[in-house]
A and B are shown apart, each in its own frame.
Chain A
Amino acid sequence: MRQRKAGGGIPSKYLLTIMSIICIMLLFISYSTGFSGGPLEVVANHIFIPMQKGIDYIGGSISISSADTKTKEELISENEDLQAQVQDLNSQITSLQLKLDELKELQDLYQLDQTYYDYETTGARIIGKGTSNWFNTFTIDKGTSDGIEVNMNVLADGGLVGIVTSVGKDYAVVRAIIDDTSNTSATISSTEDNCIVSGSLEQMTKNNLIDFSNLDDDDNAVAIGDTVVTSNISDKYLPGLLIGYVSSIQEDDNDLTKSGTITPVVDFKHLSDVLVILQVKESYKSEGL
């Protein structure tokens, strides 16, 4: 037994020490240089991503076939509901069209040709969820070959989902705004007051909400239900992307700022397709960090 051990390679305690040192070195390297895999990412790209795409495709078709089994009555009632909704929305569209024309005229007057919502986007599918229960990250099926870069913003359901944190040839890892380590600079759109939106695992598990803090609101103008969008001063997020609606608000202990919670517009539990904005915020690029 002892002989075999001697012939079979390094004793385990040395192996443990060597491997620990390698890990700690990797930690320091990634902390100081932002290294996140290098050549290993290429291997991962070719081995895991095609399989994940395949599994996602199979899983998607299974869930579609289970949706097929709705009864006729359900379909009829659903159809009636939708018809009513269509009429409702049609009337809204006509009134909004009028307002839009007015807005366009006014914008022309002010020469505001910068329209915030005209970003070029590309659709992507989520092919893998996070690797642990502590982080809200997911993998999408597009990468550098589709023009995706780190720090691009990701949308779904008309709201902000998160930001690309690392990218390979055919995949990208996205960190959701509900992730515990995520902090977003945001603006209350009615009062133009800035605040910080930070994800919280605790709030998310308890109430499906995200926290906001550092809101400077001296006039008590911010009310429950106000929309929260990304702010102009954010260094990574493009301005004017919808985050959610204020659901509760209270004064901080210092009597200067306020904090509270936000209901996100995106349903993070049932996310399958996302849109990636193919544009990185200019201020971040020019800083060249």
Chain B
Amino acid sequence: MKDYKIYLRRILVVALVIFVCFLLQTSVFSRYILGGVTPNILLCVVSTYGFMKGRRYGILTGFSVGILLDIYSGAYFGMYALIYLYIGFLNGLFKKQFFGDDLRLPMILIGTSDFIYGIISYLTLYFIRGRYELGFYVTNIILPEVVYTLLVSIFVYYIILHINNWVENLEKKGSDRIGTY
């Protein structure tokens, strides 16, 4: 019963984070375009949950975020789900190297994830349709997006970290209480 409650709380917290970040990405940051691109906040979320909580968390968060994007993208349904799923999984592999306060690893991971996401998007959506100017797309779409995403992700990362610490404290308190009874 207690387990069920903990799982429910975890799911609700992640869902709320995704909900807020989706609104930020599509409705708020689309008004603040820098260099022709908007930041990919949802990728930060997937990546952060991946290396903070491990592979399974990354896979499930990535899948939910991907499905959400698929509903609104109007392109192939399932495409984003597949990409974000693997990004969550790959970030989950770095859980053992992760320590909360050090900002270097999260930044490197989020930056690399966004770059990989950009390259995969290019290959699956553009290259197969005969758009071969990779250099153009890297310098005009992918790299600006990585830089902007990194800037925003500093805030997103710390907020998610604090939310996660809060949730884990609640869970610890809950288990302590069981111990004292």
Contact = CB atoms under 8 A, between A and B. Distances in A.
Interface string B138-159: 0011000100000000000000
Contact of B59 (A16, A55, A56, A135): A16
Contacts of B126: 134, 180, 201
B27 A127 contact: yes
A41 B133 contact: no
A55 B74 contact: no
Contacts of B28: 55, 59
B13 interface: no
Nearest to A40: B71
A47 B19 contact: yes
Contact of B69 (A15, A129, A132, A165): A132
A31 B137 CA distance: 26
Q: Tell me the dominant secondary structure on chain B's binding face.
A: helix
A31 B82 contact: no
Given A24-B82, A131-B73, A12 B19 contact: no
B69 A131 contact: yes
B79 A51 contact: no
Interface in A23-68: 23-27, 29-31, 35-37, 40-41, 44, 47-48, 51-52, 55-56, 59
Nearest to A8: B56
B31 A131 contact: no
B71 A51 contact: no
Contact of B141 (A24, A175, A201): A201
B74 A134 contact: no
B92 interface: yes
A19 interface: yes
Interface residues of A, number: 50
B26 A26 contact: no
B30 A135 contact: no
B45 to A, nearest CB: 14
Nearest to B28: A55
B38 A129 contact: yes
Contacts of B77: 26-27, 29-30, 35-37
B85 A52 contact: no
B85 A20 contact: yes
Nearest to A128: B26
A27 B80 CA distance: 10
Contacts of B92: 12
24 contacts: A10-B56, A12-B55, A16-B55, A16-B86, A16-B89, A19-B85, A20-B85, A22-B81, A23-B66, A30-B76, A30-B78, A37-B70, A44-B71, A48-B19, A59-B28, A131-B25, A131-B69, A131-B72, A131-B73, A132-B73, A134-B121, A135-B73, A135-B74, A202-B140
Interface of B: 19, 22-23, 25-28, 30-31, 36-38, 40, 54-56, 59-60, 63, 66-82, 85-86, 89, 92, 121-122, 125-126, 129, 131, 133, 136-137, 140-141, 145
Nearest 10 CB-CB pairings of A with B: A26-B78, A129-B30, A30-B77, A12-B55, A128-B26, A23-B82, A27-B78, A165-B74, A55-B27, A173-B74
